[in-house]
Amino acid sequence: MRIRVGHLYPEYLNIYADRGNIAVLARRAALRGHELSVRAISRGDELRPGELDLLYIGGGQDREQALVAPDLAEKGPALAEAVAGGAALLAVCGGYQLLGRSYRGQDGSLMPGAGLFPLETVAGETRMIGDVLLECRLDGGEPRQLAGFENHAGRTLLDEGAQPLGRVLYGFGNDGVSGFEGCRVGAAIGTYLHGPLLPRNPWLADWLLARALAHASGGPPPALEPLDDTLEREAFRVAASRARERGGRR
């Protein structure tokens, strides 16, 4: 199958090589006989909800976020329609913040958000930096772990009843106090975890791919053929042990 991917603002939001996540999705799709066709969607470009199976938005500093925020806010209804229609989405750090209702940056200016995720973000005085380990139960099944790296001044507060991506085992997460990390709406996931995230957490790459394939085919998420993830498991192990060395949840 062909999986149609919309990569939002790749020229503005790509901190810590976040676009590596797209390379992982493309490779893991190809190994199962599927093809990723990736289109950049930038300022002024139209986002046609039904035409995308997966959306991706990376991280960036406040300066880059301010450049794209008004355009992204305008795309909010189309994004919400895409996700309500079952499209998968991954948003990292700066992109995650901008998919909430608003982000107040470090200089006090208020950036409008796309309103996809039920949350708000306000920059604090200190940055939250380091390796993170999370526990996630995405579909109510067995708990799984995600390892990554966070570096953000923004404190993200989820609305009452909003679904986090996971619980922080080590690291700060959304705000350093709630114990929550990220947010999930349907097949849309927002997270502070960079790294890039997917090379060391291949199960999440496959979770997104299966949902993108379901959207492309109109059927249920397929069971994807397992791959040899020896290297990926080692990358996860190293990142997870660095997170553990940070000590308890901050």
Catalytic residues: 93, 194
CB nearer ligand GLN, residue 191 or residue 201: 191
Residue from 3, 15, 73, 158 touching ligand GLN (CB under 6 A): that is 15
CB nearer ligand GLN, residue 53 or residue 62: 62
Residue from 76, 100, 148, 154 touching ligand GLN (CB under 6 A): that is 154
Cβ–Cβ < 8 Å for 148, 201 = yes
Instruction: State the nearest-atom distance from the C-beta of 123 to ligand GLN, in Å.
Output: 6
Token output for 17: 């090589």
Q: Quick one: which of 211, 213, 219 has its CA closest to 2?
A: 213
Interaction pattern, residues 181-200, with ligand GLN; x per rule: CB under 6 A? --------------------
Torsion of CA 181, 146, 20, 209, to 10 degrees: -100
65-84: contacts with ligand GLN (CB under 6 A): 65
CB nearer ligand GLN, residue 79 or residue 93: 93
- 161 phi-psi bin (left φ>0, alpha ψ -120 to 50, beta other): left
- Written as one letter, the residue type at 45 is D
Instruction: Give the list of residues 6+ apart from residue 204 with CB closer than 8 angstroms, or none.
Output: 146, 189, 197, 198
Q: What residues does 111 pair with on adjacent strands? A: 103
For 103, half-sphere exposure in the C-beta direction (CA atoms, 13 angstrom radius) is 33
Asked if 145 interacts with ligand GLN (CB under 6 A), we say no
Instruction: State the nearest-atom distance from the C-beta of 230 to ligand GLN, in Å.
Output: 30
- Written as one letter, the residue type at 75 is K
Residue from 59, 113, 148, 196 touching ligand GLN (CB under 6 A): that is 59
Residue from 53, 62, 71, 175 touching ligand GLN (CB under 6 A): that is 62
Instruction: State the nearest-atom distance from the C-beta of 43 to ligand GLN, in Å.
Output: 18
Instruction: State the nearest-atom distance from the C-beta of 194 to ligand GLN, in Å.
Output: 7
Cβ–Cβ < 8 Å for 119, 105 = no
Cβ–Cβ < 8 Å for 223, 214 = no
104-123: contacts with ligand GLN (CB under 6 A): 123
Q: Which residue is nearest to ligand GLN (CB)?
A: 59
Sign of the CA dihedral running 166, 167, 172, 174: positive
Instruction: State the nearest-atom distance from the C-beta of 152 to ligand GLN, in Å.
Output: 3
Residue from 6, 49, 94, 113 touching ligand GLN (CB under 6 A): that is 94
Q: Quick one: which of 205, 197, 160, 157 has its CA closest to 181?
A: 157
For ligand GLN, the binding residues (CB under 6 A) are 15, 59-62, 65, 93-94, 123, 151-154
